[in-house]
Structure 1
Amino acid sequence: MIKENEIISKVLLSIEQYKGSIDSFRTAVLRNEYTPAKKYFSRLFLWKACLITESLNFREWDTTLTSSRVIYHKLRQEKDMIVQWHLLDEDNEFYLPQQKTTKSSRSNQNSKPAPQHLHRIENIADDPLAMPLDGAETHTPSQAELDNDLLMSIIMDVQRLFPGETIFHENSEAAMIYKRQIISVLYVWSKCNASIGYKQGIHEIIGLMFLNLRKESIPLPTTNTVSADERHIFSLFDEKYLEHDLFTMLNRFTVSSGLVSQFYASEAELMSSINVFNIYLMKVDQLIHYNLVTKLRLESQLWIIRYLRLLLLRELGNDLEVPSLLWDKLAAIDTHTGSSPVPDTIMFLVVVLLIHIKSELVLCDFSEALSLLLHYPIAAKIKTNPAFIESVFQDALRLTDYKKNDMKLYEYGRKMNKKYNNNIKVNLGYTPSPNGSASPTVLSRSNSPSPAPSSPTSAKFPPDPKAERMAFEKFRLEARLKKRAEEMMNNKS
């Protein structure tokens, strides 16, 4: 566990390095200048400074922290926000008996649902699979049943959270406390965002946040040797309020950033975001878009939903430090400047990741491409380039800045391809086959910049008009795709 004097040193050095300016600090994070490579790096400090205090003046932290923590405390006290542990089956490991309350608070609404027993259907009207008869009464679930369903859904997901992390799966009291804290935050968060509710995937987002916060959280020192300024700093790391701060950070990171509204709120919003991604991909790399969408007919919704909703957590491998490095930067993005750029940044991150596997992607058939997209070769990329995540983010950030300028998106796409895919040779022409029909030249990878020699077969047969026309259309592919992107944008607006 991190030591108290180490916390003081890291925080003070970080504040001094950026002259106490939160804007300078955010910029340093985005530019890869504040990373774990720095001795004074603290991820808890980074995330809480950017998502809660929004200030590097530690003497002001108490006010902000107290305010956010009181909000969560009061929410937990509200009748409809209290986690209904007593509604669980008594053999459930999370079951807790209901606390004694006044008679006025006891109601059928908060009572445990009566156990249901199997029984033979005596009448077809009682068959739950049968179509309801006109005028027949339908069962409306009580609030207690809805609360129990919500709690059970969250518990099931948290039980499967990060199988490789022993702190969640060891048979210990500490593991139970950690999981109960995460469940409590998700339960209250879901109640506060009732229009969205709990969606699978949010538990992994909060899980990664919890792991990183817990590593640096400490009990508040009780000795008299701690100065007032040191207490201000320690208040940021106080493990007593880990659950409270986790709730505030989850809300800021997912709701205030626009991630929930675009990726979780509804299927319509999610599909709209996927359409925007398709447009971005078309503008940045027409060949990848053409190969996936037009040639292979591999619809983006078959693979990209997990990328967007989990913020690339799964795609960045089993080492949770890798997505944590990316999330450092996402947390540092200022979401107070009008429309939040975070969702667009996520989509451009995906575009950049695709460009990095373009040499494999353009040669795949449907099943191979889908498998590659669902199992991104992140380990190989990081092994080749340890700064891979930093590089990908910088490219995505630049594309986000250019999102309203089609020409700049196109030019930066060409720049990335020249940098990352200079071994790809794409012949947009057509060569005639022995039977006289035209066939497209195969995409190839080569370490040589020289063009491949023409085949003997192609020399025997003069090009026919049909092949020339097809070759001409192929050369116009980028222009047609760009026009289509503009039409899609106009229709969307």
Structure 2
Amino acid sequence: MRSLQESRQRWKEFNAYNSKDSLKDDILRKQLTSSPCDGIRSLCWKLFLYLPDFAPPTWSPVLSSSRDVFTTLRAKLLGPLETGNIGIYDGDPDHPIDPLAEGPSNPWSKLRKDEELRREIIQDLERCMPDHDYFRSEKVQKQMLDVLFVYCKLNADMGYRQGMHEIVAPILWVVDNDAVQADFEEILENEKYMLEALDPAYVEHDTFSLFQAVMHSARPWYELGEDSDDIGEKGNSPIVEKSRMIHEDLLMAVDPQLARHLKELEVLPQVFLIRWIRLLFGREFPFDQLLVLWDSLFAEDPDFTLVDYICVAMLLRIRWELLEFDYSMTLTLLLRYPQPKHPNLPATFVSDAIYLRNHLDLSGGAYIISKYSNRTPAPVPMLSPAQSPPTSPSRRGIRSSDSPVRRTMSPIAGQTARTIPSSSGLDRLVNDLAKGVVGRSKGWGLGKPIERLMEELQWNKPFENEK
């Protein structure tokens, strides 16, 4: 929580901007120094993700509506758990409901399912960002639990997926850290909008609204799809299809040598891209630098189509090492991405992604590669159609919004939100994928090295924090 004096200064600087575009331009321009969102980051994220206009007077109805929605959902979905009032008598006190009776309409069955869901979420929260004392707080973990529980109940066709907790954690930290405790008597007339947007009484409410807005675009990444096999090579899982498209279409377009090398090594792109994408790079970069990267991403592309190009930019920046490494060393590098150093900090991947989006060809790839290595890739020899790796037309241009979806109304101020049809798959894609890699590696004579690598990288728990 910030002091009024500190927030007042940041609010004054914020008011120097006259539009979302002017704020966005400054965020992208200052990636090498400090972000204009520092000190007022949660407000910037709200602006880019769900507030309709840059004008402060337009914020009040949206903030009020989104907060009222969460209050209502929380009371309805968490009330029975917190009060113990689960409708033991179904309108007739002479005929109490049997707690052991089966059936979806039995409130005791609903209670047991809710408790099971909360236990599943708690398991992840207990190991969320272990190096940050803030996330060890019982109050903070309860807030994250409630936000995730309400979201999962609201999206019961998907439920909880590993990785969601690592999206909600930075959001809660930002909202809580930016909150301002002040009396209205202390503030100036034009500061009332700041105080309303950063009200500490609504930290949990605003965290839910921001998380809901992020998941509006990120949800397909958590959907497993139907008929997926053990290592994600079949079926229609959106995240697997996205991973293939990034490798076979985008990377092939800008650096076919690297794309073919990874293909020859039989490095499945989903092995590392699932984590990169689902967690919005949260496991790849230090926490403070991740927040600045999110500033740029939210400002430039709240639909997150730019995420695909960020992945390509990350691969290009380490392409020379990847070309020299064997299978096990390549996986180690991709799953322990080297930390970018000043001045090329993680936020610069957003600028590189914007460039690649506009220059998706060999010259665009060569520019990014030489920019960070002062080495230019050799000309790519022409291949006959028979030599070229096949690219499925059905995967070309796949984005989050291209997966099969239906439209429903979002709880946030009546926004239209995407909802994915219910999946029959289990949330075991990455764990099964890792097991599949071990099985295949034995045929290559690499069984033991891969098993040791997996043990080192804790692949059996792909979304647990690495200590």
* TM-score, length of structure 1 as denominator length: 0.69
Task: Summarize deviations over 1:123-163 as a string: whole Å, max 9, x none.
Answer: xxxxxxxxxxxxxx9xx993233212211111111111110
For residue 64 of structure 2, what is the amino acid of its counterpart? T
Shift of residue 239, structure 1, vs aligned partner: 1.0
Aligned to 2:325: 364
Aligned to 1:181: 143
| Partner of residue 343 from structure 2, selected from 376, 386, 393 | 386
Shift of residue 55, structure 1, vs aligned partner: 2.8
Listed as ranges, the matches of 1:46-125 within 5 Å are 46-78=44-76, 81-82=77-78, 85=81, 98=84
Matched residue of 2:50: which SS? helix
Report which structure shows greater RCO (CA 8 Å, sep ≥6): 2
| Partner of residue 255 from structure 2, selected from 279, 285, 307 | 285
- CA change 1:183–1:39 in 2 (3 A) is closer
- CA change 1:5–1:298 in 2 (3 A) is same
Aligned to 2:179: 217
Task: Summarize deviations over 1:332-360 as a string: whole Å, max 9, x none.
Answer: 1354xxxx3x1x31121111111111111
The number of residue pairs the alignment matches comes to: 382
Return the alpha-carbon distance in structure 1 between the equivalents of residues 251 and 290 of structure 2: 22
Task: Summarize deviations over 1:169-214 as a string: whole Å, max 9, x none.
Answer: 2xxxxx2221111111100111112222111101011001111221
| C-alpha contact (below 8 Å) 2:88/2:97 kept by paired residues | no
| C-alpha contact (below 8 Å) 1:282/1:482 kept by paired residues | no
| C-alpha contact (below 8 Å) 1:48/1:249 kept by paired residues | yes
| C-alpha contact (below 8 Å) 2:258/2:323 kept by paired residues | yes
For residue 13 of structure 1, what is the amino acid of its counterpart? E
Aligned to 1:476: 382
| C-alpha contact (below 8 Å) 1:282/1:485 kept by paired residues | no
For residue 261 of structure 1, what is the amino acid of its counterpart? P
- CA change 1:209–1:486 in 2 (3 A) is same
- CA change 1:106–1:323 in 2 (3 A) is farther
Aligned to 1:412: 364
For residue 64 of structure 1, what is the amino acid of its counterpart? V
Shift of residue 282, structure 1, vs aligned partner: 1.0
- CA change 1:281–1:39 in 2 (3 A) is closer
Aligned to 2:197: 236
For residue 11 of structure 2, what is the amino acid of its counterpart? V
Matched residue of 1:203: which SS? helix
- CA change 1:191–1:413 in 2 (3 A) is same
For residue 310 of structure 1, what is the amino acid of its counterpart? L
| Partner of residue 129 from structure 2, selected from 150, 154, 162 | 162
Matched residue of 1:303: which SS? helix
Return the alpha-carbon distance in structure 1 between the equivalents of residues 128 and 289 of structure 2: 17
**Runs of 5+ consecutive residues of structure 2 not aligned to the other structure:** 229-236, 403-467
Q: CA RMSD in A?
A: 3.4
Aligned to 1:11: 11
| C-alpha contact (below 8 Å) 1:35/1:41 kept by paired residues | no
Return the alpha-carbon distance in structure 1 between the equivalents of residues 194 and 362 of structure 2: 46
| C-alpha contact (below 8 Å) 1:84/1:151 kept by paired residues | no
Return the alpha-carbon distance in structure 2 between the equivalents of residues 84 and 376 of structure 1: 44
Find the structure with the greater CA-based Rg.
Answer: 1
| Partner of residue 193 from structure 1, selected from 141, 155, 175 | 155
- CA change 1:61–1:490 in 2 (3 A) is closer
- CA change 1:260–1:14 in 2 (3 A) is same
Matched residue of 2:215: which SS? helix
Return the alpha-carbon distance in structure 2 between the equivalents of residues 162 and 150 of structure 1: 21
Return the alpha-carbon distance in structure 1 between the equivalents of residues 373 and 141 of structure 2: 44
Shift of residue 365, structure 1, vs aligned partner: 0.7
| C-alpha contact (below 8 Å) 2:86/2:111 kept by paired residues | no
Return the alpha-carbon distance in structure 2 between the equivalents of residues 478 and 421 of structure 1: 30
- CA change 1:371–1:491 in 2 (3 A) is closer
Listed as ranges, the matches of 1:449-488 within 5 Å are 475-477=381-383, 484-485=390-391, 487=393
Return the alpha-carbon distance in structure 1 between the equivalents of residues 219 and 9 of structure 2: 36
Return the alpha-carbon distance in structure 2 between the equivalents of residues 183 and 14 of structure 1: 32
Return the alpha-carbon distance in structure 1 between the equivalents of residues 97 and 320 of structure 2: 60
Bigger mean CA deviation after superposition, 267-276 or 236-245:
267-276
Aligned to 1:439: none
For residue 167 of structure 1, what is the amino acid of its counterpart? Y
**1:320 has 2:318 as partner:** no
| C-alpha contact (below 8 Å) 1:26/1:332 kept by paired residues | yes
Aligned-residue identity in percent = 24
**Runs of 5+ consecutive residues of structure 1 not aligned to the other structure:** 86-95, 115-136, 170-174, 403-407, 429-473
| C-alpha contact (below 8 Å) 2:356/2:364 kept by paired residues | yes
